[in-house]
Amino acid sequence: MLRFALAAVALILSTFVSPAIAGELRREVLHSAALGRDLPFLVYVPDGYDSDTKNYTVLYLLHGAGDDENAWASHGLILEKADQLIEKGVIPPTLIVMPGCPNCWWIDGPEDKAETAFWDELVPTVAQRYRTIKSREGRLIAGLSAGGYGTIRFVLRHPDEIAAAAAFSPAIYSEMPPLASASRLNPAFQDKNKQFDISAWNAFNYPSYLDKYFAQPTRVPLFLAAGDNDAMGTAYETALLFKRMIAHQPIKVELRIVSGGHNWAVWASVIDEAMRYMYRFAAKPMSPASEVAGAVPGASLRWPPERLTIATAQPGGLSATYGEALAKLLTRTLKIPVVARQTEGPATNVRLLETGEVQLGIVTLGVAQQAWNGVADWTGGKELRTLRALFPMYDSPFHFVVRKDSGLVSLTDLADKKVGIGPIGGSAGTYAPQIFKALKIDADLINAPNLDLTERLAAGTIDAFVIAGGVPLPAITELNNKAELRFIEPSQSETLTLKLAMPELGASVISANTYRSLERNYQTLGIYNFVMTNKNVPDSFAYAVLEAVFGNLDEVRTFVPPATETLPTNFTRNTVIPFHDGAARWYTSPRPVVVSRARED
């Protein structure tokens, strides 16, 4: 009885006591030329918004086909959930926008140009009426069912505009929508006779955008969820999307299959965790002056940051290990938390440095040169010129590997063969297509995580594997423990052709017995790795990084075997990218040149 009485008192008090954090919902509307009608939307405004001058991240919540702008507030209880998460410090204060567009599916169809309405009208209108962070880091998108369909399309079609996203029970049927799907009633998916048109569905659906998304380096962190008893079949479709995405962004996609169906009980249960996930990648509220500084391409949103981040590489290579060790060294010497962030490789790291999302990144000189000149497809034709060099790491030789029992002995033998080349943003993923094109070898090049490709080569489901990295590469060592390997050397004429096509490639030698199957020195080509930064970081920071690294060479040499090449004298390897002013000051300051701090016994 006492327990019941206390609970009743608590309930009564909760009715009259205001919460510590109390945001509010505001009703807005804009006239949409793209839709030919008004587009209503609700805005969650956090507590304290009207009393400060900061700019805020915006989360856009898209409803399902049969709902409107009120759905997330009335059924998803988003006001209460946002208040609670902000009060607990789980997410920062934020704006949340809930547009109402019933049955529009957020595409540009023959009647509703909803995608245009979103990007060209809604987003600018919100930015005009509210203080928003205009950069990618200030925009999150989530949606359910048809809104989840729209969210996935936005992620794939506008990756440079979205910091992170979440899709709940997305109606992304990869083959045929079920008969009960509202998509069949949308004119965009119908023929002239108002019958469902599978070809129109396929043209708009997400699989048609995957190749283009995977061909560019920006990866949008994605949270996926669905109910295990969803009668619309979205649990299977969500899991299939997860499988496709994790092969290309293994550390930037998460999946939750929860108990429930295609209903608000499921969606309301996962929005909290999804918001926790998305806001890890979003900017915190900031002053307009800070955002102006951050709006400069590559500028950090603020300095000093709460922590520093080093963009490294995928697991299975030495760059990831080197980055982890470097983070520990810099944490100790700079007296600020430094973390290593695994990525797909150098091309991805360049983009992260350009946007200011990370402060340090491991980049090969060849990829850096492509970025500087804007010549590779992954640059989108843009000259990415905020990149600045700090210090040399080591050479990354290319490994062209086949099973010893394959009968393949030359690069020309790889014509029409399945060749794994790692993730798109990695060194091999960036260079292998250019290498095979220059040599006029038409091979089936496969992008996937390196560890996945080594398993496939060991099982014989691909014919060859190309990877570049400091030696010995753990991925190759582990592969050689499972299968006897042959290391194919480029011929003299092939080497000449590749050097003429890509002057940044240099001669490289991997010593005999580096790997179990390598019985003699392996002549190949390589590219040098540098740790790079953004030109907008302070000179004092760049100088301090070099002081920490070159002042602790004994420790650096233990990072990975080729770290013995991390020496001040090797700064001459870089003839491509300007050094940061702070780094240049370190190299030109009078001091004894330290070649090694090893004890002389």
For residue 324, pLDDT beyond 70: yes
Provide the pairing of β-strand 506-510 with 522-534: antiparallel
**From CA 323, how far away is CA 360, in angstroms rounded?**
10
Q: Quick one: what percent of the chain has pLDDT higher than 90?
A: 60
pLDDT score of 293:
43
More confident residue, 4 or 210: 210
**Domains held by the chain: number:** 3
- β pairing state of 338-341 and 308-311: parallel
Asked whether residue 35 is assigned to any structural domain, the reply reads yes
> In terms of Cα–Cα distance, which of 384, 475, 492 is closest to 428?
475
Q: What is the pTM of this model?
A: 0.54
**The pair of three-digit structure tokens given for residue 143, joined into one six-digit string:** 């949606």
Q: Are 576 and 372 in contact (CB under 8 A)?
A: yes
Q: Quote the CA–CA distance of 573 and 169 in Å, as a whole number.
A: 51
In a domain, residue 38? The reply is yes
Quote the DSSP letter at residue 512: T
Token pair of 420 as six digits? 């794994």
**Domain membership flag for residue 599:** no
Show the domain range for 337.
296-390+532-588
- Unique residue bearing structure tokens 């060859």: 464
Q: In angstroms, rounded to a whole number, what is the distance separating the alpha carbons of residues 508 and 505? A: 9
Determine if the peptide bond prior to 304 is cis (ω within 30°).
yes
Residue 106 lies in a domain: yes
Is residue 521 domain-shared with residue 537, that is, in the same domain? no
Are 163 and 84 within one domain? yes
* 362 CB neighbour count, 10 Å cutoff: 27
Confidence of residue 392 (pLDDT cuts 50, 70, 90): very high
239 and 311 both lie in a single domain: no
28 with 120, same domain: the answer is yes
Of the residues 528, 551, 576, the one at which a domain ends: 528
Q: What is the pLDDT of residues 266-303, one digit of tens each?
A: 999 999 999 999 998 888 898 775 554 444 333 333 55
**Mean of per-residue pLDDT scores for the chain:** 87
| Whole-number Cα distances in Å, 486 to 111, 118, 403 | 59, 54, 6
172 and 245 together in one domain:
yes
Q: What is the mean pLDDT of residues 34-51?
A: 95
Within 13 Å of residue 348, how many CA atoms lie on the same side as its CB?
A: 28
Q: Which of 186, 146, 185 is nearest to 167 (CA)?
A: 146
142 and 36 within one domain: yes
Q: Do 510 and 579 sit in the same domain of this protein?
A: no
Give the DSSP H or E segment for 401. Answer: strand 387-403
